[in-house]
């Protein structure tokens, strides 16, 4: 879901949980609903500046933090910084795990269950409960891992 239906779904969720709808919250939710991929706070702020002048970077940071605490926004720590998107529960992307190519920095969305075996093993062997949604796995994407073959 993207655009206005996603915005309304998130606003409805916030209201239902007793949260106020402020201009910065609406602006951040609107920017995330239209964003492609995994925008950083700087990209979100730049988008907001065009449509909602007067909302500063610090306000965007605080708003993203609040929306993440409420559960309508999720974040992932990438090599380039923290990126955000609307949570599945708020009409955003379904829950998923991230991988990032260390060469080209492309972010790849992986199925949510891709690390289920690792989660179970860590829980059994170390009593550790893995939450892989907030960090990206690091490696090489297909394009960067395969050397180019020259035509003869």
Domains of the chain (ranges plus CATH)?
4-90 (1.10.10.10), 96-145 (3.30.1490.190)
Q: Does residue 6 contact residue 91 with C-beta atoms inside 8 Å?
A: yes
**Known binder of ligand: residue 134?**
no
What pLDDT is stored for residue 92 in this prediction? 63
Give per-residue pLDDT as tens, 85-108: 998 766 666 788 999 999 999 999
**Known binder of ligand: residue 101?**
yes
What pLDDT is stored for residue 4 in this prediction? 80
**Known binder of ligand: residue 56?**
no
**Known binder of ligand: residue 133?**
yes
Q: Does residue 86 contact residue 6 with C-beta atoms inside 8 Å?
A: yes
Per-residue pLDDT at 32 exceeds 60: yes
Helix/strand/coil for 84: strand
% the chain with pLDDT above 70: 91
Write the CA distances from 11 to 28, 50, 90, 105, integer angstroms: 11, 21, 9, 32
**Known binder of ligand: residue 105?**
no
The pTM score is 0.81
Per-residue pLDDT at 75 exceeds 80: yes
Helices and strands in the chain, H and E counts? 6, 5
Residue in 37, 60, 57, 42 with CA at minimum distance from that of residue 136:
37
């Amino acid at each position: 879901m993207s655009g206005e239906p996603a915005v309304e779904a998130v606003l409805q969720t916030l209201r239902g949980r007793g949260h106020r709808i402020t201009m910065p919250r609406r602006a951040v939710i609107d920017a995330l609903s239209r964003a492609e991929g995994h925008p950083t706070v700087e990209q979100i702020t730049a988008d907001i500046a065009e449509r909602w002048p007067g909302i500063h970077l610090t306000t965007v940071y605080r708003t993203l933090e609040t929306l993440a605490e409420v559960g309508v926004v999720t974040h992932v720590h990438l090599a380039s910084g923290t990126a955000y998107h609307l949570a599945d529960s708020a009409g955003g992307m379904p829950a998923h795990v991230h991988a990032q190519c260390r060469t080209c920095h492309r972010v790849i969305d992986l199925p949510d269950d891709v690390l289920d075996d690792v989660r179970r093993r860590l829980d059994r062997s170390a009593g550790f409960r893995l939450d892989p949604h907030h960090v990206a796995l690091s490696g090489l994407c297909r394009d960067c891992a395969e050397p180019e073959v020259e035509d003869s």
